[in-house]
Amino acid sequence: MDNADGITDATQFPAQKSLGRSNLKILMLGALGVVYGDIGTSPIYALREALHASTGTNQAGREDVLGVLSLIVWALTLIVTIKYVVFVLRADNKGEGGTLSLMALARRSLVKRPEPLLFVAMCGAALFLGDAVITPAISVLSAVEGLKVVTPTFDGYVVPITLTILAVLFAVQRFGTGRIASVFGPVTALWFLAIGLSGLIQLTDDPSVLAAINPVHIAHFLNHSPGTAFVTIGAVFLAVTGAEALYADLGHFGRKPIVLAWILIVFPCLLLNYFGQGAFVLARGGTIGHPFFEMNHGWTLVPMVALATAATVIASQAVISGAYSMVRQGVQLGFLPPFEIRHTSETRSGQIYLPRVNLLLALLVMLLVVGFGESGALASAYGISVTGEMVATTILLYVVMRRVWKWTLLPALGLAVIFGIVDVGFFLANIVKVFDGGWVSITIAAVVVLVMTTWVRGTSLLFQKAHANEVALSFLAEQMAKKPPHLVPGTAVFLTSDRTCAPTALLHSLKHYKVLHEHNVILTVTTAQDPTVPDSQRVKIEQVNDLFMRVTMTFGYMEQPNIPKALASCRKQGWKFDIMSTSFFLSRRALKASANSRMPLWLDRLYIALAGSAADATEYFQIPTGRVVEVGTQLTI
């Protein structure tokens, strides 16, 4: 998952190729709190749900326990350790990871027909956003359910307490996460040590559960319980939810700290806890119950419930911030309309807050908590989004292996087939739970994909229609040079998406005011397929004639466009930009649906609604409002 951009950024935890020991430890600690928060809370519910799925009752036999444990062990080994740690983490786009970064890397290597990759990336991003809705709900709810183990009196208060915690969590997003991020790592490190120690203690009850390391128990389990095996595999996948975070946060921490944190701390502690839960269930004669909390009896129970709640809040914070990051990348790559982005730190550009996205997430998460009521019911909705996202990653990884890494067909295809079989197998095992709650993931993803495809298609059609009615800039510049209108002092900057044509705002200005500024800049802002763009490549200046200059400004998809700041750097190229003598002209289009559109009428109306909800260009490009002139136009799609 693309899931922690709001918590930290590369300036806080620099991902360097050469790391000192102290810096490496800091990066590993940060990775624990941000990267592994989601997968680290899976033991609260994963084994319990898998055992319930394998038996259909609250009683499990020895082969059920060993079979489920073996499935969990090998799922963590194949998907997380081999697929992500060994291979996927190497597919970085100039240090950045995540579904859209992988898409940008793969797309850049293809000259023709990138549309299928765009759709795969859209599906991956949409499924991640579905995961971003379900993770806070199931994580916090499962932790608070530990109160019922302390005393049944809390049974009726689980949902209200969960809603209160989530309301506070979403409410504090506007203040930024810089201050609390410093405690995320230590708390999560304490969490992993606690669950590892808890599992190690319980192993003394029945050390024979370690036999589950042998994958032969998977074969015995599948053969012994073929009717329930498929559903069980879907529940087992809960143990690896959050694996996408290893790749999504690659740019924040670098590969080495993420890999070391997994191998030295996370993986061993997760295995110890799962084995400990298995031993605890067998020691009680196979009674499943709620093994994670119940095996922490006595004085350790209440601290474990409190620590679990803190860990799930951290995991939820990470995925919420990741949703902000995913939306920002989607906006920059042209998949989504611009949203209002607030920076919550003056020094860390990665710390952002999107008010509309935050409100929408909060409403959806709380509706899920109220609607499902318990984590067990939500578990059915969880796996589809994550497995679908992993399938998308495998497809994009194959393109990268072939086109970027230049692998031959056999090893690239062989590896992709192996990963694909595992991913698709888990996906199919989860897709059968559509009517048990899986429809939530599918509905959220389908809506996001619909929004993305409508925005991309509508923007393309609008560009084509606007371009057909525009005048070539070269022709206009030539005519103005021959017979210039009345010139007024200062500089006018006209924003346009097509650098070859005269902007609508310029034509309307000439038509109605019959004047032209002494210096006119035709500015086009583009987004690179790279996460960041160096300042030396930020601005390209082309002198058309004495009256007109064409400027192309490029930002990476992880950067927030700041036009005045970028224009100030033009002084190095000989243009002495002065904000106080410059006016920015923007075209504000009033869109109307057309019966002759190449999109269905209802999609036209959806696109118009999306355009109307988009953030104001002045704010998005960080242009001083006192220097902006807006020219209204009307256009049918």
With H, G, I as helix, E, B as strand and everything else as coil, classify residue 164.
Answer: helix
Q: What is the predicted pLDDT for the residue at 407? A: 93
In a domain, 11, yes or no: no
Q: How many domains does the chain have?
A: 2
pLDDT digits (tens, 9 = 90+) for 20-69: 566 788 888 888 887 888 899 999 989 999 998 888 888 888 999 999 99
The reply to whether 552 and 435 lie within a common domain is no
Question: Which of 401, 423, 456 lies at the terminal end of a domain, its last residue?
Answer: 456
In a domain, 272, yes or no: yes
In a domain, 4, yes or no: no
Could you say which residues of the chain have pLDDT below 70? 1-22, 111-113, 176-182, 343-351, 466-469
In a domain, 300, yes or no: yes
Relative orientation angle of helices 375-399 and 439-468, to the nearest 10 degrees: 50
In a domain, 5, yes or no: no
The reply to whether 222 and 122 lie within a common domain is yes
- Strand duo 352-353 + 342-343: pairing: antiparallel
The reply to whether 445 and 484 lie within a common domain is no
Chain-centre distance of CA 84, in angstroms?
Answer: 16
**Nearest alpha carbon to residue 200 among 188, 209, 212:** 209
The reply to whether 506 and 404 lie within a common domain is no
Q: What is the predicted pLDDT for the residue at 361? A: 93
Q: What is the predicted pLDDT for the residue at 626? A: 84
Q: What is the predicted pLDDT for the residue at 18? A: 46
**Nearest alpha carbon to residue 343 among 11, 26, 587, 584:** 11
Note down the domain range covering 509: 469-636
Q: What is the predicted pLDDT for the residue at 17? A: 42
Q: Checking phi first, is residue 60 left (phi over 0); if not, alpha (psi -120 to 50) or beta?
A: beta
The reply to whether 429 and 549 lie within a common domain is no
Distance between CA 40 and CA 32 in Å, rounded?
9
Distance between CA 598 and CA 85 in Å, rounded?
45
The reply to whether 419 and 494 lie within a common domain is no
Question: Which of 402, 429, 456 lies at the terminal end of a domain, its last residue?
Answer: 456
In a domain, 16, yes or no: no
Q: What is the predicted pLDDT for the residue at 15? A: 41
Q: What is the predicted pLDDT for the residue at 6? A: 33
In a domain, 3, yes or no: no
The reply to whether 474 and 439 lie within a common domain is no
**Nearest alpha carbon to residue 24 among 348, 254, 189:** 254
The reply to whether 282 and 360 lie within a common domain is yes
pLDDT digits (tens, 9 = 90+) for 95-148: 778 888 888 888 877 766 677 888 888 898 898 888 888 889 988 998 888 888
**DSSP calls for 503-538:** -HHHHHHHHHH-EEEEEEEEEEEEE-SSS---GGGT
The reply to whether 159 and 256 lie within a common domain is yes
The reply to whether 403 and 428 lie within a common domain is yes
CATH number of the structural domain spanning residue 31? 1.20.1740.10
The reply to whether 422 and 533 lie within a common domain is no
Question: Which of 397, 427, 456 lies at the terminal end of a domain, its last residue?
Answer: 456
The reply to whether 503 and 548 lie within a common domain is yes
Q: Which residue type is seen at 318?
A: A
Distance between CA 318 and CA 128 in Å, rounded?
13
In a domain, 7, yes or no: no
- The dihedral over CA atoms of 358, 363, 364, 365, expressed in degrees to the nearest 10, equals 80
Classify residue 425 as exposed, middle or buried by CB count within 10 Å of its CB (0-12, 13-18, 19+).
Answer: middle
* Residues 288 and 48: beta-carbon distance below 8 Å: yes
Cβ-count burial 236-273 (b if 16+ within 10 Å, e if not): bbbbbbbbbbbbbbbbbbbbbbbbbbbeebbbebbbbb
